[in-house]
Amino acid sequence: MLEELKQQVYEANMELPKRGLITYTWGNVSGIDRKTNYFVIKPSGVDYDKLRPEDMVVMDLNGNKIEGEYKPSSDTPTHLELYLRYPEIGGIVHTHSPEATAWAQAGRSIPLYGTTHADYFYGEIPCARSLTPEEIDEAYEANTGLVIIETFELAGLKPMYTPGILCKNHGPFTWGKDAAEAVHNAVVLEEVAKMATKTELINPKVQPAPDSIRDKHFFRKHGENAYYGQ
């Protein structure tokens, strides 16, 4: 079932260690087939050196395992909540990449300081609030997804304009139109986090880039009038 999607999600997962975004098994990628409303996700705790396409787990949007030898990623409920709320999302990534995670642990959103950031994220990359003790005890992973959604709803953010978030005391989640794009955005987020850290070290009084720079660089790559690329 969904063999092509399993292959795509497997390849996207294998990009995480290749791009230096994970240590050991600290990450996962999923991708969804909107025709069946089944999504494919990495199995929990399986070493990347041993991972195979056929090891990917097929889930439905009720949280039921449809196919797979292994248990799905422990972060599956987070992915599920995002897929339910945002039909435009086709793939999701979670990592503990060090630069982005440092900002998450600091509880800080990443300001838009330059054009690299603006090419992919329309404005700051938000940091969600901490979960309450009750939210952690009740349904930690599902509530992580709900807090991400809450952050976007309260700020009026569009998920495809801001394809990532930092979860406070935890780490980054990114997404895209498919699993490969979600990984691409995870790589960009890590680089942007690194640049922002160095920017503030060089100039602690730095201010965010002007809105005109943000708009020019984001919309030349996204939207109806985009002209970047072939």
Beta 164-167 vs 127-128: how paired, if at all? Answer: parallel
Question: Under 8 Å CB-to-CB from 74, ≥6 apart: which residues?
Answer: 44, 141
What are the helix and strand counts (H, E) for the chain? 7, 8
State whether the Cα torsion 7-9-11-14 is positive or negative: negative
119 counts as catalytic: yes
Q: Is 200 exposed, middle or buried (0-12, 13-18, 19+ CB in 10 A)?
A: middle
State whether the Cα torsion 192-197-198-204 is positive or negative: positive
Q: Which of 33, 119, 140, 161 is catalytic?
A: 119
228 counts as catalytic: yes
Largest CA distance in the chain: 54
Q: Which of 60, 137, 215, 228 is catalytic?
A: 228
Residues annotated as catalytic are: 119, 228
